[in-house]
């Protein structure tokens, strides 16, 4: 078996930058396997933070593009935004019921499939 790969914290941080939070890209940047990259990211708090920041950066970019489509009147994107971020204002296609407390369910004794 070959010598285990060792990477410095700085090398990992450098590999994360511009990766869009895609571990395969980080692994390619380091020259190692997906699992090795994932392991090294999790070893350093600064790398976990950089990975999370990179992932959030890409989500922000995607949301910015969504807003451009909404501003352009793209009806499907408007519906999508309302059904996700507008859900708390009542824009949803399904009714969600939140239940707290206990509930008693009585089963028919004749139903042998239970």
pLDDT at 96 over 70: no
Mention every residue, 6+ apart, whose C-beta is less than 8 A from residue 113.
none
* Mean of pLDDT values over 74-83: 93
- Cα 39 to Cα 53: distance, rounded to the nearest angstrom: 18
C-alpha distances out from residue 87 to 5, 26, 72, 83, 101, Å: 47, 35, 22, 5, 24
Taking a C-beta distance cutoff of 8 angstroms, is the pair 64, 57 a contact? no
List the structure tokens of 27.
Answer: 């692994």
pLDDT of residue 65: 96
**Model-level pTM?**
0.69
Average pLDDT over all residues of the chain: 87
Share of the chain above pLDDT 90, in %: 67
Query: Residue 104, Cα to own-chain centre: how many angstroms?
Result: 37
pLDDT higher than threshold 50 for residue 1: no
**Predicted confidence band at 77 (pLDDT cuts at 50, 70, 90)?**
very high
Task: Give the per-residue pLDDT at 101.
Answer: 77
pLDDT digits (tens, 9 = 90+) for 39-53: 999 999 999 999 999
């Amino acid at each position: 078996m070959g010598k285990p790969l060792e990477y410095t914290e700085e090398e990992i941080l450098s590999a994360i930058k511009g990766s869009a939070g895609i571990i395969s890209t980080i692994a390619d940047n380091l020259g190692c396997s997906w699992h090795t990259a994932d392991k090294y990211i999790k070893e350093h708090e600064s790398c976990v933070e950089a990975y999370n920041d990179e992932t959030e950066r890409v989500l922000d970019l995607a949301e910015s593009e969504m807003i451009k489509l909404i501003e352009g009147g793209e009806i499907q994107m408007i519906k999508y935004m309302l059904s996700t971020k507008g859900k708390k204002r009542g824009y949803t296609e399904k009714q969600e019921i939140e239940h707290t407390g206990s509930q008693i369910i009585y089963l028919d004794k004749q139903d042998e499939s239970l």
